[in-house]
A and B are shown apart, each in its own frame.
Chain A
Amino acid sequence: MWNELLYAFDAVATLPNFLAMFAGIWAGVIIGAIPGMTGTMAVTLALPFTFYLPPVTSILLLVALYKGSTYGGSISAILIKTPGTASAACTVLDGYPLARAGKGGKALNMALISSCIGDFISNISLFFLAIPLAAFALRIGPPEFFMLMAFSLTIVASISGRSLVLGIISACLGLLLATVGEDIYGSYRFALSEDMKSGLGMVPVLIGLFALPELIKMVVFRPEENNAALKLGDNRLTLSEFRGSIKSICRGSLIGVVLGAIPGIGPSTAAFFSYSEARRTSKNGDKFGEGELEGVAASESANNGACGATMIPLMALGVPGDVITGVMLGAFMIHGLTPGPLLFQNNIGEVYALFIGILFSSVFLFIAGKVTANAFTKISRIPQTLLLPCILILCVYGIYSIGASPFDVTVLLVMGVVGFLMMLLNIPAAPFLIAFILGPMFEDNMRRSLAISRGDLGVFFQSWISWGFFVLTVLFVVLTIRREWKKWREKRDVANNATSAS
């Protein structure tokens, strides 16, 4: 083994490999930071170039693009409230309030450091745990997936802000919009027009809901501070701030690794799951959503933690976990490598070379992220009256370029108006976001499980994994009801005291 490792190290430590990784990470960060341009787009666009490169260099380039774009999404999420990628949607919740408070630099640094740590832990797990994690991932079927989604959806209770009822209304709206289009059995739902048959795109909905309401608010209310630019404030992340988030970073990275290894989950779900866990367990949990560095750390460590882990089922089993790894599967095949158990027998040299190269990519991510984020922070000095309309136009171009569909642009603008109305009515947008992303997975797995079991609800309680998530869900619901009851009683006591005093 050690001879093979040394050989692999020698094979990977070449200038073309380092250049490919560096270019890939850099391009990925920039592409991820542009709203509407996704990691999938970056990897797909780079695929033709890999035909002319050696196999290891090609795969390293694609992996670097994937990792870079996942981190890059956080830059626009923090600075302009526009998640560049769906996996950065959770970063908006705390990142943008931090930027508004003049702590954009801190938020970007925290995002970068937690992304790099998550990425590194993910790479290490790919190196040592590829086979056992892939075996565990295979035990997750639709019933376990359904229970996991049910538990993830309970986060709605903790991010509803002032009113749990309004939070649930927001989540219902998200769940309902997620049902638009064709379902798993080919039936159309709420297809009011031909375009709606393919459903509402995730990116137009998310960007519309988060980025546009700020612009509409500025045009309608014209507040005095509009003319002022966001203050960048203190850039440095202190040791105590980092120490305060280290638990969430480590937990987020592990969540990313485990969920990333399960085909079909991917970085977005991992980010939400990690965020909800950090909120539940942190002593600053109440401040999440108002600009808490730990929230940024939890979300970013998980989404980058999932990146390396998505390679686990691909390499160990030949099963692509998401669209990006699907494209990478194509790249493997083009170069004569067949992912799966045989890859570890027939091409062990290439496998070790890839593992070592992927480990190096964390360092490149840190360097490229630092330089690019510093360049992007200049955005925060642009006055809002100039910046916000330009962001809208950037979003319009980005969204149109995804599918060359004017309908997506219409969805973007309509969701902007819906988001503004929700803002006016104090309906929180975060539960909508989570429900819209997790809802389809929740429903599909519920229906699949019931179809498999011919309607027997016992299918949801046949494994210890399902039971584990079920107990956690029930526990959290009970705790939420208890908390709400306490709050209601406290309010009632205050009101009674005020009445008796008067």
Chain B
Amino acid sequence: MNQNRDFYAGLLATAFFAIVLFVLIPIYVKVPSFIPGFAPPPDMWPRVVAIIGLVMGILAVVLTFPKMREASRQQVTGLGSRIISHKTLIARFVAVLIVFAAFVFGMPMVGFVPATILMLGVLFVMTGNFDRKFWMIGLALVFPVLLYLLFTEVTHTPFPEGMLFSGRLSGSLSDLVTLI
């Protein structure tokens, strides 16, 4: 199992730092035409780090081979067969990604409070434990509202109202705060 993990970690690190070194740094780290005095250019440090990361990634991959030779049982299994054997887990992970993405992209539309209520409710459902249904429903509805009240009162944070409900929902929440 560890051989698998080390191999994939090394592979992923190698790919990531290679992309950083050969693609991202040339495009996204601009070197100004004039640097005052002798100041190292802005791309020097990211390059050094990416090179060390790349070397370490390759080293992690290389180091797994002697271990694999020692025990044939522990050889690295193909990525495809690993995905097939862990279908449910991968589906759940993808579902988490979808929930997070939906929150990030949906929050400006539905507003901060409704978006957090929805996300909390969905996450409770995704935990797969329904022993405390009433607690889950109650918390999903009340907890985000309490936090909204706390942060608007204490830190005066302007939470997004949401394009769909602009004025109405936030207005009612503001009224509630004023009432309290």
State the Cβ distance, A80 to closest chain B Cβ, in Å: 15
Contact B135 A426 (CB under 8 A): no
Question: Inside 8 A of B35's CB, which chain A residues have their CB?
Answer: 185
The answer, yes or no, to whether A342 is at the interface (CB within 8 Å) is no
Question: Inside 8 A of B173's CB, which chain A residues have their CB?
Answer: none
Question: Inside 8 A of A175's CB, which chain B residues have their CB?
Answer: 45, 49
Q: How far is the CA of A216 from the CA of B2 in the complex (A)?
A: 21
A222 and B127 contact, Cβ closer than 8 Å, known pairs A169-B13, A401-B155, A454-B37: yes
Instruction: Kindly count the residue-residue contacts between A and B in the assembled complex, taking CB atoms under 8 Å apart.
Output: 184
The answer, yes or no, to whether A192 is at the interface (CB within 8 Å) is yes
Tell which of A172, A216, A401 touches B157, judged by Cβ atoms closer than 8 Å.
A401
Contact B5 A165 (CB under 8 A): no
Contact B9 A426 (CB under 8 A): yes
State the Cβ distance, B15 to closest chain A Cβ, in Å: 12
Beta-carbon nearest neighbor of A390 in chain B: B143
One digit per residue, 1 when the CB lies within 8 angstroms of any chain B CB and 0 when it does not, for chain A 183-210 equals 1011111111000000000000000000
The answer, yes or no, to whether A215 is at the interface (CB within 8 Å) is yes
Q: How far is the CA of A406 from the CA of B43 in the complex (A)?
A: 28
One digit per residue, 1 when the CB lies within 8 angstroms of any chain B CB and 0 when it does not, for chain A 361-401 equals 00000000000000000000001011011101110111011
Contact A219 B147 (CB under 8 A): no
Contact B9 A425 (CB under 8 A): yes
State the Cβ distance, A207 to closest chain B Cβ, in Å: 14
The answer, yes or no, to whether A404 is at the interface (CB within 8 Å) is yes
Interface residues, chain A, with chain B CB atoms under 8 Å away: 37, 41, 45, 162-163, 165-166, 168-169, 172-173, 175-176, 179, 183, 185-192, 215-216, 218-222, 226-227, 383, 385-386, 388-390, 392-394, 396-398, 400-401, 404, 406, 409-410, 413, 416-417, 420, 424-427, 443, 446-447, 450-455, 495
24 residue pairs of the A-B complex, CB under 8 angstroms, read A41-B155, A165-B59, A165-B63, A172-B50, A173-B53, A175-B45, A179-B45, A185-B42, A187-B29, A188-B28, A383-B129, A385-B129, A390-B120, A393-B120, A393-B147, A394-B147, A397-B144, A400-B151, A401-B155, A406-B160, A413-B100, A425-B5, A426-B2, A450-B38
Interface residues, chain B, with chain A CB atoms under 8 Å away: 2, 5-6, 8-10, 12-13, 16-17, 20, 24, 28-32, 35-40, 42-43, 45-46, 49-50, 52-53, 56-57, 59-60, 63, 70, 89, 92-93, 95-97, 100, 103-104, 107-108, 112, 116, 119-120, 123-124, 126-129, 131-132, 135-136, 139, 143-144, 147-148, 150-151, 154-155, 157-160
Contacts A389-B120, A393-B119, A413-B104 aside, 8 further interface pairs with beta carbons under 8 A come to A45-B155, A172-B56, A220-B93, A385-B132, A393-B144, A397-B144, A417-B97, A425-B12
